[in-house]
Structure 1
Amino acid sequence: MACRQSGWAFMDFHWDTTLQDRHDRIVTELSTWPRPDEDYYTREQWQSVAELGLLVLPIPGAHGGSGYGALETARLVDAFGRGAPDLGLVFAACAHTFACAIPVAEFAEDGLREWVLPRLCSGEWIAGNAVSEAEAGSDVNAMRTTAVRDGDHYVLNGTKSFVSNGPVADVFVVYAVTDPSLGHLGISAFLIERDTPGLRAGEPMPKASLRSCPAGPVVLDDCRVTAGHRIGPEGHGAAIFQRSMQWERTCLLSAYNGRTERLIDRCVEHATTRRQFKRPIGTNQAVSHRLVDARIRLEAARLLLWQACWRLDQGIRAVLDVSMAKIAISENAVQTALEAVHLFGGAGILEETGIDVALCDALPSTVFSGTSELQREIVAVEMGL
């Protein structure tokens, strides 16, 4: 019998044939894609992602989406991360969907939703989530960007510091303070097009991780936005942001499970073909046990994630589950990448092997969408500490 209070229930992780076939097709299709030749993904690559249906997984069918819940979406994003040759593009697409399209789909008024979502779902538009500031990363309540009501408009001023997709985005989901006296209840969300006067998207910032996903600042200087472009009621921005974080901390992180499995498979192949002292290095327990432990950590993290997603789909409180899953997935991604560097030895730091990229791409997973330290604080509170 299911027990709501303790969190136990009958969770069925059997994938129906349709979903499993789609998962396998995504992995197979993406495995044929070449690594990007340019520094950042191109519009053509973005359109290819859209054509695979990877921008619309959780978006309702009425707006051109697949209508999947969190669990189904996580399963397919896992395939996205496993099959794609470049994790930066995966990250960019997930940020577009979970941090931008989801808030519009779930909170915007019908007119705004019907105008924006078809463009986001088709890949015609790329979206950027403008929330982080120099002094307000994990501490969203420290946000300084303001939105002052002026008749039928709002006037926004401030600088967002690290906007994924920002340098190329066509539209932004921007969070700003509408009533400083109300704390987190005084934050609102807005949808702003790139060519709106007073909005300036900065150049991409050089970075070592997820390099093909451009990220940069967005400056708002007396940027006037109609009230109709506010997402949800005034003061609901914090709630909208937290809802988008539920999707990011589960489904975006699922891409890292797929990526970690891809890396483990590569390590196993290397361990069976690389010979030292006249035998494959995988016959040494020092090697094989490390890979076994990596696989155990992966499957444990995956089950934590699926449990979190299942609870979200059932409408059950999942704050504890989501934070635990993010910690497990992100920290395993980093640990497994470090193990891969060690396993490949000198080749592990050569650019031609790509192991260095795997490590660099894993590192920010413990920081974005709330640091591991913040997640542990959330878990501590949920435990009653």
Structure 2
Amino acid sequence: MNFDLTDDQQKRYDDTLEAVRYHLDGEPEQGAEHIFTRTRWKEAARLGLTSLCVPDEFGGGGLGALDTSLSLEAFGRGCADTGLVFAVAAHLLACAVPIRDFAGPGVREELLGGLASGELIAANAMTEDDAGSDIGRLDTVARRDGDGRHGQHGEESEESEDGRGYVLDGEKSFASNAPAADVIVTYATTDARAGFLGLTAFAVPRELPGVSVGEPLRKMGLHGCPAGRVAFTACRVPASHRLGTEGQGAAVFQHSMAWERACLFACYLGMMERQLERCVEHAQERRQFGRAISGFQAVSHRIAVMRQRLDAARLLLRRACWLLDEGRDNTLAVALAKVSVSEAAVANSLDAVQIFGGAGFLAPTGIERNLRDAVPSTIFSGTTEVQRELIAREMGL
């Protein structure tokens, strides 16, 4: 068992970190009104961060899950704006990945090049007011255009695959990147009787009639990633823009979530590494009672635990990514990694505020921002409670 990165992996990590620090390390604006800008997005795209796991034939990096996570970790470490890092990762993992793996050739050709270059921005719209963790109860519906999906008494029509497309109706309550998005990956119920097997996935161009996106939501953190409501009103979507087969939406979503839970959370590993460096530096420089506070066990042991949490979470995440690349069963490993990274991010951020004391409570230091950015990590991509349920189920409980 070898825990070392290869020379190529280490070089890619180091080069990404150096480039991000040089081009994207400016402190984000203060306050809840700070929102996403295409200028910084295009800079991230120019560094190749919007294309990591997109196939090289579409201008992407062609990277697997582990190498994608390493680059996102470097991005998270080098960029103080965790919201921007999150926005890029969500675009890539929750949107480009399902288009890469489930779209037809025409849609892959239409979208993947723009997603890789950053000219197109993608949003993932799954969550609804009454369907957060319970994705089997989506109120958003998709019916065959012209009512061709079902016969008069509900039986499946021979015209169900006639290519006439779908009409989407419904509203999504929380879609990251939506206010800036050019394409929206979304999920709708095509057969209410079938539960999870009745969901279908779509890649919906924003310019289609019937698509409307609300104003950016005001959030606790991740201000560099805009989020908004998305409504579909008699929105006609070509059948070619369906991802996978009709009824395969739950499988498409779970596939994209495996990539997101395994790779996106590498952003938080990078954030925690940066945070830890700052805590060590502060503890060595800050003096109280005639000596550096690093000399007090209450401080040094707290930092030691921060290191422990970070390294343990990193090992679990890299194992999950490796299993994903190997095509092996990864459900348990991905859930363990997601819980470990998100809980470590919150706990380490609380410790960082305590180590910085009053300064950690002040916005200009950026320490309190890390905490605000970390809190939602236990909620999105499947809550901690959902992940523990998956862990228990994989253990036969």
TM-score by length of 2: 0.93
Specify which of 325, 335, 340 is matched with residue 323 of structure 1. 335
1:72-91 counterparts in 2 under 5 A?
A: 72-91=67-86
Question: How far does residue 14 in structure 1 lie from its aligned partner after superposition?
Answer: 2.6
Question: How far does residue 242 in structure 1 lie from its aligned partner after superposition?
Answer: 0.2
60-69 or 241-250: bigger deviation? 60-69
Residues 1:64 and 2:59 are matched in the alignment:
yes
Residue aligning to 2:396: 384
Residue aligning to 1:3: none
Residue aligning to 2:349: 337
Rounded to whole Å, the distance in 2 between the matches of 1:78 and 1:327 is 17
Specify which of 20, 27, 39 is matched with residue 30 of structure 1. 20
Residues 1:46 and 2:30 are matched in the alignment:
no
Which digits, 9 at most, give the CA deviation of each residue in 1:61-102, with x for residues without a partner?
122211111111111111011001200000000010000000
Rounded to whole Å, the distance in 1 between the matches of 2:286 and 2:125 is 46
Rounded to whole Å, the distance in 2 between the matches of 1:153 and 1:249 is 31
TM-score by length of 1: 0.95
Q: Secondary structure at the match of 2:179?
A: coil
Residue-pair matches, total = 375
Rounded to whole Å, the distance in 2 between the matches of 1:326 and 1:83 is 21
Paired amino acid for 1:321: A
Question: How far does residue 355 in structure 1 lie from its aligned partner after superposition?
Answer: 1.1
Residues 1:16 and 2:11 are matched in the alignment:
no
Residues 1:102 and 2:97 are matched in the alignment:
yes
Specify which of 180, 190, 196 is matched with residue 184 of structure 1. 196
Question: How far does residue 16 in structure 1 lie from its aligned partner after superposition?
Answer: 2.2
Residue aligning to 1:361: 373
Residue aligning to 1:6: none
Q: Secondary structure at the match of 1:31?
A: helix
Structure 1 unaligned segments of length 5 or more: list them: 1-9
Rounded to whole Å, the distance in 2 between the matches of 1:27 and 1:69 is 19
Paired amino acid for 2:369: V
Question: How far does residue 36 in structure 1 lie from its aligned partner after superposition?
Answer: 3.5
32-41 or 128-137: bigger deviation? 32-41
Residues 1:133 and 2:123 are matched in the alignment:
no
Q: Secondary structure at the match of 1:41?
A: coil
Question: How far does residue 13 in structure 1 lie from its aligned partner after superposition?
Answer: 3.5
Q: Secondary structure at the match of 1:167?
A: helix
C-alpha contact 1:330 1:362 (8 A) present in aligned 2: yes
1:138-153 counterparts in 2 under 5 A?
A: 138-151=133-146, 152-153=164-165
Q: Secondary structure at the match of 2:204?
A: strand
C-alpha contact 1:156 1:224 (8 A) present in aligned 2: yes
Residue aligning to 1:7: none
Residue aligning to 2:153: none
Residue aligning to 1:229: 241
Q: Secondary structure at the match of 2:127?
A: coil
Residue aligning to 2:156: none
Which digits, 9 at most, give the CA deviation of each residue in 1:336-382, with x for residues without a partner?
00001111111111111111101000000000000111100100111
Structure 2 unaligned segments of length 5 or more: list them: 147-163
Specify which of 186, 208, 212 is matched with residue 220 of structure 2. 208
Question: How far does residue 29 in structure 1 lie from its aligned partner after superposition?
Answer: 2.0
Rounded to whole Å, the distance in 2 between the matches of 1:130 and 1:313 is 26
Residues 1:294 and 2:306 are matched in the alignment:
yes
Residue aligning to 2:257: 245
Rounded to whole Å, the distance in 1 between the matches of 2:28 and 2:392 is 42
Q: Secondary structure at the match of 2:216?
A: coil
Rounded to whole Å, the distance in 2 between the matches of 1:161 and 1:21 is 41
Paired amino acid for 2:244: G
Rounded to whole Å, the distance in 2 between the matches of 1:195 and 1:381 is 42
Rounded to whole Å, the distance in 1 between the matches of 2:45 and 2:34 is 20
Question: How far does residue 35 in structure 1 lie from its aligned partner after superposition?
Answer: 2.3
Rounded to whole Å, the distance in 2 between the matches of 1:62 and 1:195 is 26
Rounded to whole Å, the distance in 2 between the matches of 1:314 and 1:191 is 27
29-38 or 250-259: bigger deviation? 29-38
Question: How far does residue 31 in structure 1 lie from its aligned partner after superposition?
Answer: 1.8
Q: Percent identity?
A: 52
C-alpha contact 2:36 2:223 (8 A) present in aligned 1: no
Paired amino acid for 2:86: F
Rounded to whole Å, the distance in 2 between the matches of 1:61 and 1:104 is 15
